[in-house]
Amino acid sequence: MKVKITSDSTCDLSARLLEQYDIDLLPVTVSLGSRDGNDGVDIFPDDIYSYVDASGLLPRTSATNVSEYVSFFSQWTERGYGVVHFCLGSGFSSTYQNACLAAKECGRVFVVDSANLSAGQGLLLLKGAELAQSGQSAEAIRAICSKAASDVEASFVIDSLDYLHKGGRCSGLAALGANILNLKPCIEVRGGVMLPARKYRGPIERVTLRYIEERLQGRTDIDTHRIFITHTRCPAELVQSAAERVRELLPDAEEVLETTAGATVTTHCGPNTLGVLFFRRPQDS
């Protein structure tokens, strides 16, 4: 059975990577007030920033429904493909449950709960695509990637709590205090949900390098096959210095890939958010 790898648009992979690995995306619906659009098709991060600046409100993202998944999967299953679909973590959205219901209706669809978002989901997606290229079956790819989901380490350092406050994820007092004290929180994905890790203090340029050093320095459990630097509208100089520091700390890294976050991370975190994401080596390796 031929295998097709697909994902929600929340994976934050670049167009080049999607083309290189022959991955198709089902875009998330984003609502900017009365305007609805598709993430990465007709709604982009700059649209989100403009909307927030003008309205003071955050956009809304809608979980893909079962009928949308059925239509998306059917275009491949009707041509004889087995589909492996990588979902935004089930702790963030009902998309995983909806995709599973659609998979039962379609048949030959195998759904992976990434337990992650952004390039954390993207790491699993590329692993699945590489397995497909090596000739693994759709069922085997789901089993391998579902197990590997717990080995993804995803975290982000955030410049401002304004977007988290607008989204109801922190109080106005906490946001005000963080801004006054110049605090930059680090958010980790653990157990399929976003949790606070620690707070840094200082300008985002200096904080970003400290965050990278604390994440990578002296570790022997990092899988250096592929490292992602994913960000939301960070200055080019900041991204470049972050990439250089990653390469200094992980000189044997095969790939250090930069991607720009789409609607989901942008809506939650706002501009000047940057994360380093990678696989940990399994403990028994």
pLDDT digits (tens, 9 = 90+) for 214-232: 999 999 999 999 999 999 9
> Vertex 82, ends 76 and 84: CA angle to 5°?
95
CATH architecture assigned to 152-279 = 2-Layer Sandwich (3.30)
Q: What is the mean pLDDT of the chain?
A: 90
**pTM of the complete model:** 0.92
pLDDT tier, 159 (very low <50, low <70, confident <90, very high otherwise): confident
3-state SS, 158-215, equals: CCCCHHHHHCCCCCHHHHHHHHHHCEEEEEEEECCEEEEEEEEECCHHHHHHHHHHHH
Where along the chain do the CATH 3.40.50.10170 domains lie?
2-150
Say yes or no: domain 2-150 is CATH 3.40.50.1000.
no
Q: Are 276 and 212 in contact (CB under 8 A)?
A: yes
Which positions ≥6 away from 134 have C-beta within 8 Å? Answer: none
- What pLDDT, on a 0 to 100 scale, did the predictor assign at position 202? 87
Where along the chain do the CATH 3.30.1180.10 domains lie?
152-279
Q: Where are the alpha helices (DSSP H) in the chain?
A: 15-20, 45-55, 66-77, 95-106, 118-133, 138-148, 162-166, 172-181, 204-216, 236-249, 263-269
For 82-120, the pLDDT digits (tens) are 999 999 999 888 999 999 999 999 999 999 999 999 999
Read out DSSP for 132-143? Answer: HHTT--HHHHHH
Q: Which residue has the higher pLDDT, 228 or 179?
A: 228
